[in-house]
Every structure is written in structure tokens, then in C-alpha cells.
């Protein structure tokens, strides 16, 4: 069986002959370290991206089968995006820049982290109407044209008829074929910031709904276009990131009201086209949002961050049954430790795999403290334990 067939068998609680060894990519600093150590070529490290050729080469060298985050994309965010530009440079090396989502961020020389948010162009209705609403037109011909489907060795716009070739390519793929379905509220949270999002829920709930509806409409329109092409997909994949390590960044009741109908509309459409599974990438403690996703057709949780709150599919399965699937939940911290720690982590995963509908995966990007030999050893042990 191919990796694709084994993956779909696991999600369907069917028999399979190999547990896929899945990862979720790497920090660039991790790859640079490994290249400096001679494990990778500098070109492989520089050119890495989710699902690209370098990703498959690097994953193969380590022993992984594929990256879960290798989705076929459609342009669901701001279009056109803002043109990034430097706003101010400081003597201490700090730089304030406008990014492509209209957020002013601060970066510091020598500091490797997510840039700090300094300000946001989108704060109120005037900002939305002046700078953003026209960037969220769901029927934009250019947005549709630039949304791509895979066709052999290249990407082909939907409008060219290349989706017929894309379908043939997908049918031959040894990996699961997933369609990126956008973000209903997570990207908007990026754009306005957590604080402004919180104020909007009280100060202008009508505007907040209008903006969420705009993102939902774009996602639905592009997913519909992709599903009506000849390309066949195994699952949809959403990106949301609307939680942190203590829970959601938005009231769950409001999330149900604002995002729930869009998820249901999109996943219902997917099921009509034979796509039974939808995956969501949401960091943080997702427990209170999980039933909302399930009720609205999203049935694969990813990346199940073990983190400090010990997230696991086991208690979720007890609460919600076999409709809930999962990918993730492997504690990547052991990559910085020793083989004993890795052995213990593999043993911890055994009863979770036995639940069915679950594929272990490092719970986020593999960090710079990971040792190459430890990651290799993890893949070897996973094969010894699960794929003998």
C-alpha cells in the first residue's frame, strides 16, 4: 500500500500495512545547524518548504515518509497582499516593518522568534473599508486564476483546464492529497491582533461578523472551484491558530456563531464531492473549541501540542468517540535529549496508535535544539515498533 492508502485506511479505522512516519517541518535554524554539521547541503537547507522537493529529500534522509502540511493551496487571505516595507530602523538594530497582512512588526538583530506586533492598520470600520474590504473579494478573477492545482511537475491555474492533468497526477501520488481550505477567523486574528479582536467583539460585533463572513466566503468560493475541477482530494485542511496555552483567544460561543456556519457550509460541500475528512491546524489548548469543529464537519485535529498542558487524543476520544481523528501529539522535546527519552516517548504513543484514527507526528516544527541522530533514531524506533 502507498503512504496515501495507508493514511486513508487509518483515518477510516481500516487495516493497514504501515504506519506512516509523519512530520510537520522544521525551523530554518534547525536546517542551518544540520547543514553546518554536514547532514544536509546548504541548498537543501535554504530551499526547504512544506511539501517541496527539499522537504521530501530532508524527510527521507531522516526516515520520515512525508510532511502532513503539504497541502495544495488556494489564495484565501488578503489579495493583493500589502507590499512589505521598512518603516523605521533603530540604532540598537531593531527594525519596524509593515508586513503583507498590514501589521507593523518589530524584529531584533540576532533574535530568532516570531516578530513582535507593534501596531495594526485594521482597527475599525473605516480601516476595513479603506484598506481591506476590497482585498477580500471572493469572486476576484485574479484570485481564482492564481489559485493553483498540481499538474505533474508544475502548478496549473484552474482557469487553464490543467485540472484534468492535475487529477491524473493526484491519482498517481503516493502521498495523501489535501486541499488548503483557508482560515475563517485565525488570519483575521493575525491582521487585527488579539487585543483589537477582543475589543471588536464588544465595540463593533457587526463589523467583526462582516469580516469573518468575508473570509468564509472567499474560502467557500475557492474550495468550491477546486472541488468542481477534475482534481480529487483526500481531505481539506484549515488553518486557525485561535488558541494559546490556556484555551481559546475568542469566546467559544462567539466562535460557534461566527465561524461554525462557514465550517459547516464548506465541509458539507466537501462531503458532496466525496471528501469525508477535514483537518484543522490550531496551536494551543483547543479543548473547548474541539466540539465546535466536530459539530461542523472538521474531524482531524492537528498538531495536538503536547506542550506543558499534555494534550492527547486519548481523553478527546473518550468524550467524542471515533468521529474524532488526530495527527500529531508526539513530544518533539525528546529530540534534544537522549535515546532513553525517545524510547519512552515511542512507548507512550503505542496505546494511542492502538485507538485507531490517529497518526503520531512531532507536535510542531522540529526546533534547533533537535539532534540529527536523535531524529533518525526516533524514525528507526517507530519503524521497529509499528512497522515490523
Taking every pair of Cα atoms in the chain, the longest distance, rounded to a whole number of angstroms, is 61
User: What is the average per-residue pLDDT within 267-272?
Assistant: 97
- What average pLDDT does the structure give for the chain? 90
- For residue 173, pLDDT over 80 is answered with no
How many CB atoms lie under 10 A from the CB of residue 199?
14
Inform me whether the pLDDT recorded for 110 exceeds 80: no
For position 154, what pLDDT does the model report?
Answer: 45
Question: How far, rounded to the nearest angstrom, does the alpha carbon of residue 28 sit from its chain's CA centroid?
Answer: 17
- The alpha-helical segments, DSSP class H, found in the chain are 3-11, 28-36, 42-47, 53-62, 125-127, 141-146, 163-172, 186-192, 194-203, 205-228, 252-258, 260-272, 290-295, 313-320, 339-354, 372-386
Query: 120-124, 230-234, 294-298, 330-334: which has the minimum mean pLDDT?
Result: 230-234
**201 pLDDT above the threshold of 60:** yes
Express each pLDDT in 285-294 by its tens digit.
999 999 999 9
User: Would you state the pLDDT for residue 141?
Assistant: 56
Pick 203 or 231 by higher pLDDT: 203
Determine the average pLDDT of the residues in 233-256: 95
The percent of residues in the chain predicted with pLDDT above 90, rounded, is: 76
In the predicted model, is pLDDT for residue 315 greater than 60? yes
Per the DSSP assignment, residues forming a β-bridge with 106 are: 96, 116
Of residues 229 and 105, more confidently modeled: 105
Torsion angle defined by CA atoms of residues 128, 132, 137 and 140, in that order, rounded to the nearest 10 degrees: 160
Residues of the chain with pLDDT > 70: what percent?
91
Query: How confident is residue 51, by pLDDT bands cut at 50, 70 and 90?
Result: confident
* pLDDT bracket for residue 225 (50, 70, 90): confident
Give the range among 82-96, 135-149, 160-174, 175-189 with minimum mean pLDDT.
160-174
pLDDT band at 309 (very low <50, low <70, confident <90, very high): confident
CA dist 176 and 276 (Å) reads 13
Amino acid at each position: 500500500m502507498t503512504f496515501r492508502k495507508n493514511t486513508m485506511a487509518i483515518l477510516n479505522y481500516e487495516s493497514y500495512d504501515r504506519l506512516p512516519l509523519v512530520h510537520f517541518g522544521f525551523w530554518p535554524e534547525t536546517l542551518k545547524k544540520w547543514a553546518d554539521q554536514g547532514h544536509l547541503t546548504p541548498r537543501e537547507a535554504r530551499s526547504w518548504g512544506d511539501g517541496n522537493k527539499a522537504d521530501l529529500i530532508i524527510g527521507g534522509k531522516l526516515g520520515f515518509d512525508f510532511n502532513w502540511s503539504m497541502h495544495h493551496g488556494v489564495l484565501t487571505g488578503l489579495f493583493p497582499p500589502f507590499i512589505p516595507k521598512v518603516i523605521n530602523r533603530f540604532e540598537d538594530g531593531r527594525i519596524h516593518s509593515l508586513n503583507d497582512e498590514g501589521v507593523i512588526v518589530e524584529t531584533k538583530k540576532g533574535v530568532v522568534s516570531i516578530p513582535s506586533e507593534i501596531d495594526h492598520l485594521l482597527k475599525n470600520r473605516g480601516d476595513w473599508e479603506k484598506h481591506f474590504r476590497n482585498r477580500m473579494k471572493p469572486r476576484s478573477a485574479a484570485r481564482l486564476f492564481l489559485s493553483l492545482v498540481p499538474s505533474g511537475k508544475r502548478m496549473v491555474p484552474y482557469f487553464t483546464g490543467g485540472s484534468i492533468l492535475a487529477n491524473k497526477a493526484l491519482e498517481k501520488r503516493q502521498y495523501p492529497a489535501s486541499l488548503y481550505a483557508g482560515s475563517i477567523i485565525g488570519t483575521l486574528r493575525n491582521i487585527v491582533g488579539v487585543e483589537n479582536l477582543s475589543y471588536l467583539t464588544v465595540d463593533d460585533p457587526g463589523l467583526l461578523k462582516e469580516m469573518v463572513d468575508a473570509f468564509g466566503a472567499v474560502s467557500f468560493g475557492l474550495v468550491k472551484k477546486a472541488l468542481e475541477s477534475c482534481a480529487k482530494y483526500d481531505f481539506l485542511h484549515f488553518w486557525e491558530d485561535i488558541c494559546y496555552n490556556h484555551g481559546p483567544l475568542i469566546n467559544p460561543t462567539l466562535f460557534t456563531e461566527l465561524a461554525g456556519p462557514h465550517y459547516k457550509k464548506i465541509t458539507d460541500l466537501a462531503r458532496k464531492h466525496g471528501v469525508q475528512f477535514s483537518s484543522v491546524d490550531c496551536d494551543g489548548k483547543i479543548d473547548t473549541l474541539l466540539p465546535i469543529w466536530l459539530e461542523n464537519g472538521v474531524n482531524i485535529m492537528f498538531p495536538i501540542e503536547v506542550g506543558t498542558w499534555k494534550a492527547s487524543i486519548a481523553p478527546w476520544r473518550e468524550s467524542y468517540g471515533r468521529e474524532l481523528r488526530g495527527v500529531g501529539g508526539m513530544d518533539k522535546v525528546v529530540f534534544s535529549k537522549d535515546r532513553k527519552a525517545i524510547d519512552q516517548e515511542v512507548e507512550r504513543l503505542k496505546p494511542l496508535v492502538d485507538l485507531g484514527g490517529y497518526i503520531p507526528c512531532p507536535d510542531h516544527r522540529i526546533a534547533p535544539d533537535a539532534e540529527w541522530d536523535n531524529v533518525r533514531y526516533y524514525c528507526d524506533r517507530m519503524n521497529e515498533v509499528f512497522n515490523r
